[in-house]
Amino acid sequence: MGGDSGPAVTMPACLSILCRNLSVTLLLVGDESQIKIYLKGLSRSELCRIQILHTSVVFADTLRPDNILRSGRESSLFLAIEQVRSETAQACISAGNSGALMLASRHLLKNIQGIEKPAMIAILPGSRASGFTYLLDVGANIETTTNQLFQFAIMGSVLIGALSGKPRARVALLNIGSEAHKGTPVIREAATLLDACNDFDYVGFVEANQIFDGIADVIVCDGFTGNITIKASAGAVKVIENLMHQSIRRRWYYRAFGFCMKPFFRDVRRVLNPSKYNGATLIGIQGVIVKSHGNSDWAGFEQAIEHAFQQLALNVPQLIAARMQKTVDVA
Amino acid sequence: MGGDSGPAVTMPACLSILCRNLSVTLLLVGDESQIKIYLKGLSRSELCRIQILHTSVVFADTLRPDNILRSGRESSLFLAIEQVRSETAQACISAGNSGALMLASRHLLKNIQGIEKPAMIAILPGSRASGFTYLLDVGANIETTTNQLFQFAIMGSVLIGALSGKPRARVALLNIGSEAHKGTPVIREAATLLDACNDFDYVGFVEANQIFDGIADVIVCDGFTGNITIKASAGAVKVIENLMHQSIRRRWYYRAFGFCMKPFFRDVRRVLNPSKYNGATLIGIQGVIVKSHGNSDWAGFEQAIEHAFQQLALNVPQLIAARMQKTVDVA
C-alpha cells in the first residue's frame, strides 16, 4: 500500500516478479479489495502462489515514524514486517514510511548482535562500466557515533564480499575534504578505526563530487549526510534533464529530427535510470527488509524485490551476524 | 597565488577585469616574478592601475587552516586580507585555502556585531529562467547551532533584499524531509525561530532534490551539509556530461554530425556552467571577502571578482550590520 501511488505501482511489479519467477510466493499485505483489482486475468497456478493478508489500515508517509509502535500495529507496513518475524515470509519489501519501516523492523526483528544501529544501504550509479558503489547510511539514522560508522563499514564490506567475491572491499568515508584534518571529530575518529581494521582496504576520505568515480566499493556516512547526498544528486540530474528537454523544444531542427536524439537519451538514461538503483536494504537487522523509493515506478519496485532475493540468496544477515560474532569473540 | 593553477588562472581574470573596468585598481599579492610574466603587453595607463605586494610565501591548500595564524602571516592569503583590514584594498578575492581564508578574515576583520559565525554563501543554478537561490553555509562552519542557522537566514535575506529589491525573501531550511518531525533537533528548533521572524517569509523545509526548483530565495543549512550538497550536485552533473560524451563517441552518426549537437550542449552548459556560479562570499565579516573555487577557470575567477564589486556596490556588510543592530536594540 506504500509509496506515492500504492498498489498501482506495487502490484504490477509483484505480478511481473510472480510470472518471471516460478519459485516465488507472494504474501500481499494490504487492502484486499484494492489488491484483487490487479489479480484479474491471472492463471490458477499463479493465483496459487499469492496470499493476501487483509488490512484496511495504511500508515501514512506524513505520520511521525514513532507512531507505528503506538497506533500503527494494524497497518499493512507493521503487519508485513510481522510476517517476517513469524517466519511466514522470508523478506519484506515496502515503499512506505522509511522511519516507520526502520522502527518496526528494529522492534520486531531486532538488530543483529553487536550492531548498534541498522542502516539503509543504497547503490550509486557510476560512470564506470562495471562495479558498484554502496553508500550507507542514506537515512535510517540522523546522528551517528564513530563506532556506528565503523559498524556501517563492516556491514558494507561484508555485503560487497558476498556480492562480488572480493576478499577485501575498498571502504571510504564521505567527508568535505580529503585532508586528515577535515570534517567532524566523529568522522576523523572513524577514519582512525577504519584505517586500523583488517577486514577491508580503507581508502580515506572521499568528497561528495567523487562518489560516482568508483574510488571505493563502500562509502560510509551518517544517514542525514547520505540522504542529502543522494537527493542533491537526483536534483542535479533532474535539472539537466529539464535543460535537455528545453533545448529540444526550443530548436526546430531538434524537434523535427527528434528521432535522431532518441539513442542519445537512451544511452544517458540507461545508466542513470532511477529504477535501476531503487531499493535500499535495511542492513544490520535480523531479517531482509528492503525500502523502495516512495515515487518509484513499477520497474523500480521490481528492482527492490530483486534486492530482497539477492540478500536472501547470499544470506546477508547471517554473514553479518557471523562477522560481528568474530568481533565479540575477539573482544 | 591560490587555487589549483595559481596565477595562470587568476592573472588573466584580473587583467580582463582591469581592461573592462576603468575605475578598478588591482592590488596583486603574491610572487612578483610570477605575476610580472602576465603584465607584458599592458599599456602604461593599465599598468598604473596595478600594484604588486610581493611575497614568496604561499599557504598551501593541504595545510591545516589554523596554521595560518601561527606560521602563515607572511603568506599571500594572509597579506591580502591584511590589505582589507588596513583599508588599502576594499575587497579581497582568493582561490586559496577556504578554511584559512575564513580564519584569517575573522581574525583580521572581525565578525559583524551580533554574528556568531560568518558563512560562505553560494549561488545555485536553477531550472527557472530568472531568479537566484542562495545556499548558505557551504563550508565555513562544520557544526552550527540553532541561533547560527537563524543568523544565516537573516544574512541571506538581507543580501536578497539588496540584490533584488524584494522586501521579503523566501527562506527555507535544508532538511531530509518536509514534515515537521524530520531532521536534527537543531534544524527543528531553527524552524521555530525562522517561522516567528518577520524579516522574511519562511517557506519550511526543502529537501536536497528541490534546491534547484526555485522554491526559496535563500536556503539555510550547516556548512558540512551545504558543502556535501553542492559537491554531490557537481558530481552528478559530471557523471551526466561523461555519459553524453560517451554516447557521442560510441555512435558514428553523432560523431559525423557532431556540429548538430553543439547548440544542444551549449544550451545545457549555458545554465550549468560552473564559472557562472563561481565565487562564494564570506558573509558576516566586516569586509568583503570572496572565495573562488580552487579548480575554477579564469572566467570563473572573473565572476568571483564581479561578486566582490556587487557586494561593495550594495554595501552588504553595512546592511547586515544595520540589521543586526536592530536586533541588539530590540533585545
Per-residue pLDDT of A224-249, as tens digits, reads 999 999 999 988 888 888 888 887 78
Task: Return the residue of B nearest to A238 by Cα.
Answer: B209
The nearest alpha carbon in chain A to B253 belongs to A260
Model confidence pLDDT, tens digit, residues A42-86: 999 999 999 999 999 999 988 999 999 999 999 999 999 999 999
Indicate yes or no: CB of B209 within 8 angstroms of CB of A232: yes
Encode pLDDT of A128-175 as tens digits.
555 679 999 998 888 899 999 999 999 999 999 998 888 899 999 999
B71 and B148 together in one domain = no
Task: Indicate if B94 and B184 belong to the same structural domain.
Answer: no
**Do B52 and B193 fall within a single domain?**
no
pLDDT band at A259, cuts 50/70/90? confident
Q: Is residue B77 part of a domain?
A: yes
How far does the CA of residue B263 sit from the closest CA of chain A (Å)?
Answer: 8
Q: Is a pLDDT exceeding 70 seen at residue B229?
A: yes
* Final residue before a domain boundary, out of A109, A144, A177: A109
pTM for this structure? Answer: 0.91
B325 lies in some domain: no
- pLDDT for A202 beyond 90: yes
Cross-chain residue pair A233–B234, CB shorter than 8 Å: no
SS3 labels along chain A = CCCCCCHHHHHHHHHHHHHHCCCCCEEEEECHHHHHHHHCCCCHHHHCCEEEEECCCCCCCCCCCCHHHHHCCCCHHHHHHHHHHCCCCCEEEECCCHHHHHHHHHHHHCECCCCCCCEEEEEECCCCCCCCEEEECCCCCCCCCHHHHHHHHHHHHHHHHHHHCCCCCEEEEECCCCCCCCCCHHHHHHHHHHHHCCCCEEEEEECHHHCCCCCCCEEECCHHHHHHHHHHHHHHHHHHHHHHHHHHHHCHHHHHCHHHHHHHHHHHHHHHCHHHHCCEEEECECCEEEECCCCCCHHHHHHHHHHHHHHHHHCHHHHHHHHHHHHHHHC
Size of interface A-B (CB pairs under 8 A): 165
Residue of A nearest to B221 (CA): A228
- CATH code (residue A148): 3.40.718.10
Judge if A185 and A224 occupy the same domain: yes
Smallest Cβ–Cβ distance between B267 and the set A179, A235, A250 belongs to A250
Q: Which of A59, A81, A109 lies at the terminal end of a domain, its last residue?
A: A109
At which of A77, A109, A141 does a domain end? Answer: A109
**Which chain B residue's Cα is nearest to A228?**
B208
Same-domain pairing of B167 and B272 = yes
Domain that holds residue A224: 119-232+270-274+320-330
CA distance B226 to chain A (A): 9
Residues B282 and B189 in one domain: no
Q: Are residues A23 and A59 in the same domain?
A: yes
Structural domain contains residue A190: yes
For testing contact with chain A, the best of B64, B187, B231, B255 (most A CBs within 10 A): B231
Q: Confirm whether A134 is domain-assigned.
A: yes
A183 to chain B: which residues are within 8 Å by CB? 142, 224
Who among B142, B260, B272 is closest to A184 (CB)?
B142
Inter-chain CB proximity B268 and A181 less than 8 Å: no
Q: Are residues A103 and A139 in the same domain?
A: no
Residue A186 located in a structural domain: yes
Q: Are residues A54 and A141 in the same domain?
A: no
In a domain, B26, yes or no: yes
- Does B327 fall in a domain? no
Query: Per the domain annotation, does B35 fall within a domain?
Result: yes
Is A324 in the same domain as A210? yes
Domain total of chain A? 2
What is the arithmetic mean of pLDDT over B160-182? 90
What pLDDT score was predicted for residue B130? 54
Does one domain contain both B44 and B173?
Answer: no
Residue A105 and residue A123 in one domain: no
Contact check, Cβ <8 Å, B233/A229: no
Residue A317 has pLDDT above 80, yes or no: yes
